Amino acid sequence: MKVLVTGGTGLVGTAIKSIQPDWVYLSSKDCDLNDFNSVQTLLQKINPDVIIHLAANVGGLFKNASKRLEMFNSNLLLNYNLLENAYRLNIKRVICCLSTCIFPDGLNRVLTENDLHLGEPHISNYGYAYAKRMMEVQCRLYNETPGYNYQCIIPTNIYGPHDNFNLNDSHVIPGLIHKAYLHSTEMNDGPFVILGTGLPKRQFIYSHDLANIIVRLVLENITEPLLICSTPVRYERTILDIAKLIGNLLHIQNVIPAEREIGNNDGQQIKTATPDRLLTLMPDVTFTPIEVGLEKTVYWFLQHYPNVRK
């Protein structure tokens, strides 16, 4: 079985490669997914049996909020190019990666797969969220053709080695690690101040845990069309909790929020999602404790700085 992974040099792609090094890993240097004909040529050449589609124009809260149109257009285009070409070439198994940030805002309950389209996403993720939602709709429509299994997984906040640690465009954990590192190296005696109130709650999944789940989906032929991939609800943590754990790893004792009132720097307050469907399909799946995962990620960052993506 030949498996192609787009976004193969990114956070999750590199984790999958550590488990399945013989699969084919595609980077942006290998093919411009924004070009329909280039994607067609590449897929004809590789002729995979399965595609794991991880490539996306991604970023954290501030990139999503400030570049909503770009995030919508670019993700809509590259997803269409990949999926439509796969469909035309009779590639019948594709696994696509969504995100819990695309769920409706304000449902005020634990989210399940059935909630994905029940309302508007949070304004900060508007463009990115709708592009990803459309990919889920697209997959459902392809699955109306007998024999096709186009599947969407919905991970919670992913973190780990090989992440993007850009101070402006990263997700919360790599951004906090980079900022905390700079704070510690500047010999700053003042507190480490994080943006926002630190009150929003998030579930975090270590990249290698998600990679193991994806590999199992392929090898065990689990084709559930929509699947939340997250740690259990009880592992949810506030952003301030995470910042303090990172601070401790970098010998920073005083970590405080910048704001007392909820504002634009907080984003969505709660987007708790249940992995019950996943745990039914994989009752033996395990998750790396956040303290262990953060320690591994910080260690990797320190070993590879200043050559990390930033």
In a domain, 176, yes or no: no
Looking at every residue in the chain, the average pLDDT score rounds to 92
Residue 16 falls within a domain, yes or no? yes
**Per-residue pLDDT tens digits for 84-142:** 999 999 999 999 999 998 999 888 899 999 999 999 998 888 899 999 999 999 999 99
Q: How confident is the model at residue 195 (pLDDT cuts 50, 70, 90)?
A: confident
pLDDT of residue 67: 77
Condensed to tens digits (0 to 9), the pLDDT of residues 213-259 reads 999 999 999 999 999 999 999 999 999 999 999 999 999 989 988 87
Share of the chain above pLDDT 90, in %: 75
Is 276 inside any structural domain?
Answer: yes
**Segment 161-186, tens digit of pLDDT:** 999 998 887 889 999 999 999 998 88
More confident residue, 170 or 210: 210
Q: 176-186: b or e for each residue (b if 16 or more CB lie within 10 Å)?
A: bbbbbbebeee
Residue 303 lies in a domain: no
Enzyme catalytic residues: 128
Domains: count for the chain: 1
Residues 265-292 have a mean pLDDT of: 91
Assigned token pair, 229: 């991939």
Q: How far is residue 287's CA from residue 235's CA, in Å, rounded to a whole number?
A: 10
Reply yes or no on whether the pLDDT at 189 is more than 70: yes
The answer to whether residues 181 and 165 touch, using CB atoms and an 8 Å cutoff, is no
Q: Say if residue 263's pLDDT is above 80.
A: no
Mean pLDDT of 59-84: 84
Q: Which residue has the higher pLDDT, 280 or 69?
A: 280
Quick check: 261 pLDDT over 80? no
- Give the per-residue pLDDT at 163: 93
pTM to 2 decimal places: 0.94
Domain range holding 131?
3-161+204-234+272-289
pLDDT digits (tens, 9 = 90+) for 8-20: 999 999 999 999 9
- pLDDT above 70: residue 64: no
- Answer yes or no: is 192 within a domain: no
Q: Characterize the bridge pairing of strands 3-6 and 50-53.
A: parallel
Identify the pLDDT of residue 283: 97
194 belongs to a structural domain: no
pLDDT value at residue 68: 80
CATH of the domain at 29: 3.40.50.720
Stronger pLDDT, 170 or 278, i.e. the higher one: 278
CA of residue 30 relative to chain centroid, distance: 21
The tens digit of pLDDT for each residue in 10-50 reads 999 999 999 999 999 999 889 999 999 999 999 999 999 99
120 within some domain: yes
Is 306 contained in some domain? Answer: no
